[in-house]
Chain A
């Protein structure tokens, strides 16, 4: 594949915390419209790998290119612009605790200078989809873990980003809701968005496989491997 066609490209990436090496020699290309799951034991570096993909961490060796740009070469404003094209769902979803939920979900629009009012229809629809319409004026600390995760996903996709990175997005929600969230991600993927989800949830991965063509990546012994089709 030509360089630059992949939205996110890791080349021989290594990452070390203090003394120990967490990831080494990781190479991966996420092409537009691909749907990947990232699995692996706890502490194997799934979250770290996601953070490398959106620039929260810089690799200790190797190169990360996002939209064809070397992550190391970006200044802070360019990094901010890049984040607007990548929707991220953190494992510990953080919000602005003093603002109501609707404002939090619309926050990416607000900070990029787009009027939340203009996109009010989208916001309403999105909140309905994730089942949070009735909680629009609630403050984030009043939400349950599952509600927070749904809100984080809604916030991640409101800008209609090119890439969606999600860290255990269905960890705290029931099966029915996880299906709904998956459906949202699948729909976005069908629109051409690149999706990468870190998850333990094998049932979720199977459910996804029945809807789209999914590739599963597994981290074992600091390396990233393409998992077999037998999963």
Chain B
């Protein structure tokens, strides 16, 4: 359709809008459907974006790091740590290796034992954080060498528990997007049904308009404009409620782990603003197609 038709859709031709009789009850239904769908879309979007963020973060942080745990009698621990660090520095593919300080280790244990733990009193293994370069290192070879020279060292490269978590987060993100697509499709289907009902209810109006020489575009526009504005208005209300709901969710925190942070962050807040536009667009397309299909059947 032409630019002029789109412009007149939004600027409005009050005469064209008047030729279709006002419809009280069904108008509210369209508004409600569009609002409810927009509300659901906000949550599907929040879920997708949050799980996407989670998947990226886990994949990023965990893929590039491994942990070396040194369990040894207290008197040998420093020596073994030193030996392990030396081996790691010689290993190709290891970008850096760093023994965690006592304070860092205490912080890791704090959630379980409390903050005032005297870590020196406990036989806590020494942890070494290993960051690898892009091609990575040969984990099997490193294990072999460590087992020969540092018997107390255990290499944990995180893949064991990283993969399923990242996979789960990615599936969650995928499900979120599928939900958004389904919501869009269901909206289109419902607007089509509503538009078809309106078109058949106004068969006489359309017949009269055709008789006096109205073009299809003129007739369709009266319906399209009505449904597009309704769907847009409903979506604005739905998004407002949805965002209010998201704001009430607990914010992301270290204590809450990955279950919090389901809301939007930063520029993500702009995404929901697109929902009314998309809702309006879906209604526009659905009504336009329905109207032209209906009009084709008339003389």
Contact = CB atoms under 8 A, between A and B. Distances in A.
B207 interface: yes
B212 A155 contact: yes
Interface residues of B, number: 22
Contacts of A55: 299
Nearest to B218: A111
B219 to A, nearest CB: 8
A57 B299 contact: yes
A96 B299 contact: no
B211 A95 contact: no
Contacts of A88: 211
Contacts, number: 64
Interface string A65-82: 000000000001101111
A111 B217 CA distance: 10
Interface in A88-143: 88, 90, 94-99, 103, 107-108, 110-112
A52 to B, nearest CB: 11
A97 B22 CA distance: 11
B299 A56 contact: yes
B118 interface: no
B209 A111 contact: yes
B208 interface: yes
A223 interface: no
B214 A96 contact: no
B16 to A, nearest CB: 8
A84 B21 contact: no
Q: Which residue, of A55, A82, A90, A107, has the highest number of chain B Cβ atoms within 10 A?
A: A107
Interface residues of A, number: 27
Contacts of A80: 210, 213-216
Contact of B208 (A56, A77, A82, A96): A96
Nearest to B205: A96
A83 interface: yes
B15 interface: yes
A108 B210 CA distance: 10
B213 A84 contact: yes
Nearest to A99: B18
Nearest to A82: B213
B212 A111 contact: yes
Contacts of A159: 213
B204 A94 contact: yes
Contacts of A95: 208
B288 to A, nearest CB: 15
Interface in B1-26: 15, 18-19, 21-22
A122 B237 CA distance: 46
Contacts of A84: 212-213
A83 B218 CA distance: 14
Interface of A: 55-57, 76-77, 79-84, 88, 90, 94-99, 103, 107-108, 110-112, 155, 159
Interface of B: 15, 18-19, 21-22, 204-205, 207-218, 295-296, 299
18 contacts: A76-B215, A76-B296, A77-B216, A80-B214, A80-B216, A81-B213, A84-B213, A94-B207, A94-B208, A96-B208, A97-B21, A98-B22, A99-B18, A107-B209, A108-B213, A111-B209, A111-B214, A159-B213
Given A76-B215, A96-B209, 7 more contacts: A76-B295, A81-B213, A83-B212, A99-B18, A107-B19, A111-B213, A155-B212
Closest 8 CB pairs of A and B: A84-B213, A111-B214, A83-B213, A98-B21, A108-B212, A80-B215, A56-B299, A110-B15
